[in-house]
Amino acid sequence: MYNFDFHRPSTLRQANGLMGKLEDAKLLAGGQTLLPTMKQRLASPGQVVDLGGIPELAGIEQKGRNLVIGAMTTHAEVAGSALVKAALPGLAALAGSIGDPHVRNRGTIGGSIANNDPAADYPGGLLALGATIVTNKRRLAASDFFTGLFSTALDEGEIITKVIVPTGAKFAYAKFRNPASRYAMVGVAVAKKGGKVAVAVTGAGSDGVFRWEAAEAALQKRFSAKALDGVATPSAKNLNGDIHASADYRSHLIGVMARRAVTTASGK
Ligand SMILES: Cc1cc2nc3c(=O)[nH]c(=O)nc-3n(C[C@H](O)[C@H](O)[C@H](O)COP(=O)(O)OP(=O)(O)OC[C@H]3O[C@@H](n4cnc5c(N)ncnc54)[C@H](O)[C@@H]3O)c2cc1C
């Protein structure tokens, strides 16, 4: 590893101050993506600001009809949380499907969405659930936050502090995972609340996570896997093709995963 300055603030205020004054600084959360990229010299920040020493950034609460998840909450904590399992069991299952136990015990929700890997699981779940991302500066709807491959609406140095997830939806996530990394080759999240249905697809879009509106329209009429019969899956021309799967195959998988998610969410 090369030389860099390491900072470990103990309050959000201190972290804010550091990110405001340091040049070439990167935030460190679970390090599951940042450290490998630094080791490979794909990123070489001169300053690293570790968020691990700030208690106010971790933890899960239920506030009214919302789950409030601190940015430094690990995937394992979300997966094992009694609150999440009670309010949104599908979200606990999604977190439990991320990587392996090592990754789940280090990786955080804040780091995952800040990185916005096109094959990450949380972006699909949070988009379908209509979550709000809270930073040290503002609040962003998930639909405005995820802006493309590995890109978000975050400004340089902006710190995600928590994620607010509305509860009360019938929600499930189905993922066809890469056998090695377990990232989503295709992941589909389905949320039904009142008469509204949201379907978000991750792992496949050539521009990152996206909503599948044709499926939403069909599922709003009838919330069952069969309602997707005859609905064309997203066109391969807007999907990724790579050594793991062709765009055509991903288009097919979207239909399969969507049916599985609807079946789980509807409990039928
Ligand atoms: C082997 C392996 C398998 C994996 N499999 C999966 C998988 O199946 N599904 C999946 O979704 N993910 C998977 N991941 C990624 C994993 O979920 C990581 O947790 C995630 O990508 C990064 O989270 P982190 O907390 O480790 O962040 P870090 O690596 O510390 O940071 C990632 C980026 O986010 C920025 N950042 C971190 N926290 C904040 C914040 N609070 N505010 C603003 N910016 C911030 C950092 O500066 C950095 O640019 C895998 C990773 C590995 C190594």
Question: Measuring CA to CA, which residue among 32, 66, 29, 5 is closest to residue 161?
Answer: 29
The fold of the 59-166 domain, in CATH, is 3.30.465
Residue 184 has pLDDT above 90, yes or no: yes
Residues with CB under 6 A from ligand 1: 26-34, 51, 71, 98-99, 103, 106-108, 110-112, 114-115, 117, 120-122, 159-160, 181-183
Task: Name residue 203's amino acid.
Answer: G
Can you tell me which atom of ligand 1 is nearest the CA of 183? 8
Q: 110 alpha carbon to ligand 1 midpoint, in Å?
A: 8
Closest-CA residue, ligand 1 atom 18, reads 107
pLDDT value of position 267: 86
Residues 191-210, mean pLDDT to the nearest whole number: 97
Question: Measuring CA to CA, which residue among 58, 101, 64 is closest to residue 79?
Answer: 101
Probe target for ligand 1 pocket from 27, 106, 161, with the most ligand atoms within 8 Å of CB: 27
Q: 71 alpha carbon to ligand 1 midpoint, in Å?
A: 11
pLDDT value of position 215: 98
Q: 142 alpha carbon to ligand 1 midpoint, in Å?
A: 17
Residues 47/90, Cβ–Cβ less than 8 Å: no
Query: How would you classify residue 157: left for phi > 0, otherwise alpha for psi between -120 and 50, otherwise beta?
Result: left
Encode pLDDT of 72-118 as tens digits.
Answer: 999 999 999 999 999 999 999 999 999 999 999 999 999 999 999 99
Share of the chain above pLDDT 70, in %: 100
Average pLDDT of the chain to the nearest whole number: 97
Q: 105 alpha carbon to ligand 1 midpoint, in Å?
A: 12
pLDDT value of position 129: 98
Closest-CA residue, ligand 1 atom 47, reads 27
Can you tell me which atom of ligand 1 is nearest the CA of 158? 43
Closest-CA residue, ligand 1 atom 1, reads 181
pLDDT value of position 182: 96
| CATH number of the domain located at residue range(s) 170-266 in this protein | 3.30.390.50
Residues 188-213, mean pLDDT to the nearest whole number: 97
Enumerate the domain spans of the chain: 5-49, 59-166, 170-266
pLDDT value of position 180: 92
Q: 129 alpha carbon to ligand 1 midpoint, in Å?
A: 20
Probe target for ligand 1 pocket from 7, 24, 32, with the most ligand atoms within 8 Å of CB: 32
CATH architecture observed for domain 5-49: 2-Layer Sandwich (3.30)
pLDDT value of position 240: 96
Encode pLDDT of 27-51 as tens digits.
Answer: 999 999 999 999 999 999 999 999 9
Can you tell me which atom of ligand 1 is nearest the CA of 27? 47
Kindly provide the residue ranges of all beta strands, DSSP E only, lying in 91-231, ordered along the sequence. 132-135, 139-141, 146-148, 151-152, 160-166, 170-177, 184-193, 196-202, 210-211
Residues 149/208, Cβ–Cβ less than 8 Å: yes
pLDDT value of position 220: 97
52 vs 30: CA distance, rounded Å: 8
Encode pLDDT of 120-143 as tens digits.
Answer: 999 999 999 999 999 999 999 999
pLDDT value of position 118: 97
Residue 268 has pLDDT above 90, yes or no: no
Q: What is the pTM of this model?
A: 0.97
Q: 239 alpha carbon to ligand 1 midpoint, in Å?
A: 23
Can you tell me which atom of ligand 1 is nearest the CA of 57? 41
Encode pLDDT of 212-228 as tens digits.
Answer: 999 999 999 999 999 99
pLDDT value of position 2: 82
